[in-house]
Amino acid sequence: MKRRISIVYQGLRPVILAALLLGSVSCGEDFLSVKPQGVINANNFFQTSDHAVWSVNAIYNQLRNWDFTSFPSLAMTDIISDDATKGSFPADAERIIAFDDFTFDARFPEEVRLSWRGYYHGIFRANIAIDGIPRVPEINEPLRQRLLGEAKFLRGYLYFNLVRWFGDVPLITQPLTQDEFYSRTRTPAAEVYQQIVKDLQEAIAALPEKSKYSPADLGRATKGAARGMLAKVYLTMKDYPNAEKYALEVINSKEYNLLADYGKIFLPEGENSSESVFEIQATALEASYAGATPWNMVQGVRGSPNLGWGFNLPSDDLIRAFEPGDPRRDATILYVGEILPDGSAVVEDNPSMDNERYNQKAWTPAHPGLQDNGPSNIRVLRYADVLLIAAEALNENGKPQEALVQLNAVRKRARGTRTTVLPDVTTTDKTALRERIWRERRVELAMEQQRWFDLVRTGQAATRMKALGKNFIVGKHELFPIPQTEIDLSNGLITQNPMY
């Protein structure tokens, strides 16, 4: 027995020795420690001031995303409202009709979910920046504060749209960890608004005025943008004293002026004009489409000469809303037979289109690349908007005379050289003046993705929609449905809006 064991052992011994020998040459940790190639990873991000700048630029980048600049955003702002219809020919993107006739639900069409997702992706990038920038070891301190201010402005703006669309939404202000992925619930809208106010106030404190930025930074969020946005937030919250305060701060900063010619605001030369408070910056580059948006293409003339898709068409109701002779009508609507603003061609009739006319504010002259290389900046907040916010707040605060100053400034500019149209408003009756301001907002800001928010904010949505024979249900359609996928993934912790 002993002998056999020893034979086995003798057999085994070289094997064991060999194994030990081979084991001793193990390369171990060094061999197995590899780094991702050509990319920075989470462990070495936010090490330099460049990293901080990049992380904030990445938030702006998201604003040009499809979810922000095409069907999802247009369907949930203009098309659903009384300003516009789906557009194109009937069978094209037929599902978008759901926004015209109020048959959208938690699943269809997917545009509701795309907006939700796109906005939360933007919020994620803002949270990454706000979380990481304070950790950057060496950075010029004013730059650190400015970047944080920009990120907070953008986060506030994103939540502002989300809360207006969906009501209570999960309020997430830092990147979530794994155990939090499924545990969030919808935060009451009032708390979301508090966070928006906080973000925007911190942005106001941190951001420089437009004129204090270096030219290369043109287009970044400014103190004025944060103030103007906050004024609009307060207006939506019906906190009129604060709305007045922040709108007047913008006005009194003397940073902005109305552009003399309304029609020029939306042309390339009107980008970042004196009237611009905040714009989503875009450009058509020659080599890649990395600076573009689909915004021009989706709304462009369908057929000759612009080769766009022809969605989001101005409605008959919008046309009727303009006062006789209001030059803004022709600056807003591009008709068949009309000469293009740059004089290059005439819009030709496309027989497959119903009610053919286009959103002139999304028109753009020839540019490098194809139609999806859309170069237009998207005007998010104009000085005229701020003046009308001021007017509305002042009226609500019992200062009709001061309100009229702001309102008539907007009308005067719209009137231009035509002295016979758009006379100054003179009424000081609070209700009548409120009506006039709301009407002014509609035509001044038509087709600029403001109308639906104004209809819901002012409680006019139900009456306006019903007047147009639409299937608007009070208590339901003021808010969009929470995407069903979100409810499913949260195992029901995320609840649905009423009646969906």
Choose between 147 and 414: whose C-beta lies nearer to other proteins: 147
Q: How far is the CB of 471 from other proteins (least distance, A)?
A: 9
CA distance 484 to 116: 11
d(CA 400, CA 426): 9
Q: Which is nearer to other proteins, 72 or 400 (CB)?
A: 72
- Chain positions 187 to 216 lying near other proteins, rule: CB under 8 A, are 215-216
Mask for 29-48, x = binds other proteins (CB under 8 A) = x-xxxxxxxxxxxxx-x---
Amino acid, res. 68: F
CB of 421 to other proteins, least distance (A): 34
Residue from 392, 440, 454, 486 touching other proteins (CB under 8 A): that is 486
Please list every residue from 216 through 235 that binds other proteins, using CB under 8 A.
Answer: 216-220
CA 304, chain centre distance (Å): 30
Of 327 and 375, CB closest to other proteins: 375
Binds other proteins (CB under 8 A): choice among 49, 173, 201, 272:
272
Residue among 15, 141, 401, 459 that touches other proteins (CB under 8 A): 15
Contacting other proteins (CB under 8 A), which of 6, 9, 14, 365? Answer: 14
How many chain residues touch other proteins (CB under 8 A)? 116
What's the per-residue H, E or C state across 388-422? HHHHHHHHHCCCHHHHHHHHHHHHHHHHCCCCCCC
CB of 112: closest distance to other proteins in angstroms? 9
Write the binding mask 82 to 111 for other proteins: x where contact by CB under 8 A, - elsewhere.
Answer: -------xxxxxxx-xx----x-xxxxxx-
- One residue of 224, 228, 303, 400 binding other proteins per CB under 8 A: 303
> What's the gap between Cα 320 and its chain centre?
28
Name the one range near other proteins by CB under 8 A: 134-142, 301-309, 424-432, 435-443: 301-309
* Touching other proteins, residues 444-483 (CB under 8 A): 483
Using omega within 30 degrees of 0 as the cis cutoff, is the peptide bond preceding 109 cis? yes
d(CA 46, CA 207): 21
DSSP state of 77: I
463's CB contacts (< 8 A; 6+ apart) are none
Mask for 316-355, x = binds other proteins (CB under 8 A): ------------------------------------x-x-
Chain positions 56 to 75 lying near other proteins, rule: CB under 8 A, are: 56-62, 64
The residue within the footprint of other proteins, chosen from 137, 178, 254, 459 (CB under 8 A), is 178
Instruction: Output the furthest CA–CA distance in the chain (Å, rounded).
Output: 121
In angstroms, what is the minimal distance from the CB of 347 to other proteins? Answer: 14
Taking residues 112 to 151 in sequence order and writing x for each that binds other proteins by CB under 8 A, - otherwise, the string is: -x--xx--xxxxxx-xxx----------------------
We find the least distance from the C-beta atom of residue 45 to other proteins, in angstroms, to be: 5
420 makes contact with other proteins (CB under 8 A): no
Nearer to other proteins, 369 or 416 (CB): 369
The dihedrals phi and psi of 416, each to the nearest 5 degrees, come to 60, -125
Do 277 and 381 form a contact (C-beta atoms < 8 A)? yes
In terms of DSSP H, where are the helices of 64-209? 66-69, 71-74, 97-101, 111-132, 141-166, 189-206
Nearer to other proteins, 31 or 252 (CB): 31
Determine the interface stretch with other proteins among 74-82, 235-243, 398-406, 486-494 (rule: CB under 8 A): 486-494
Identity of the residue numbered 194: Q
The token duo for 372 is 């999806």
R_g of the chain computed on alpha carbons: 28
Residue whose CB is less far from other proteins, 291 or 341: 291
Over the window 349 to 388, marking each residue x when it contacts other proteins by CB under 8 A and - when it does not, the resulting string is ---x-x---------------x----x-------------
Instruction: Specify the 3-state DSSP secondary structure of 129.
Output: helix
Burial class of 221 by CB neighbour count within 10 A (0 to 12, 13 to 18, 19+): buried
**Residues 48, 118, 146: CA angle, nearest 5 degrees:** 35
Q: How far is the CB of 84 from other proteins (least distance, A)?
A: 18
Question: Which residues are CB-neighbours of 3 under 8 A, at least 6 positions away?
Answer: none
Stretch that binds other proteins, among 21-29, 253-261, 316-324, 383-391 (CB under 8 A): 21-29
Q: Which is nearer to other proteins, 95 or 439 (CB)?
A: 95
Stretch that binds other proteins, among 14-22, 418-426, 433-441, 447-455 (CB under 8 A): 14-22
User: Which own/partner pairs from 130-133 qualify as long-range (CB within 8 Å, at least 24 positions apart)?
Assistant: 130/155, 130/173, 130/174, 131/174, 131/175, 132/45, 132/46, 132/51, 132/52, 132/55, 133/46, 133/52, 133/55, 133/56
Applying CB under 8 A, the span of 20-28, 77-85, 400-408, 415-423 interacting with other proteins comes to 20-28
Pairing of strands 333-335, 357-359: antiparallel
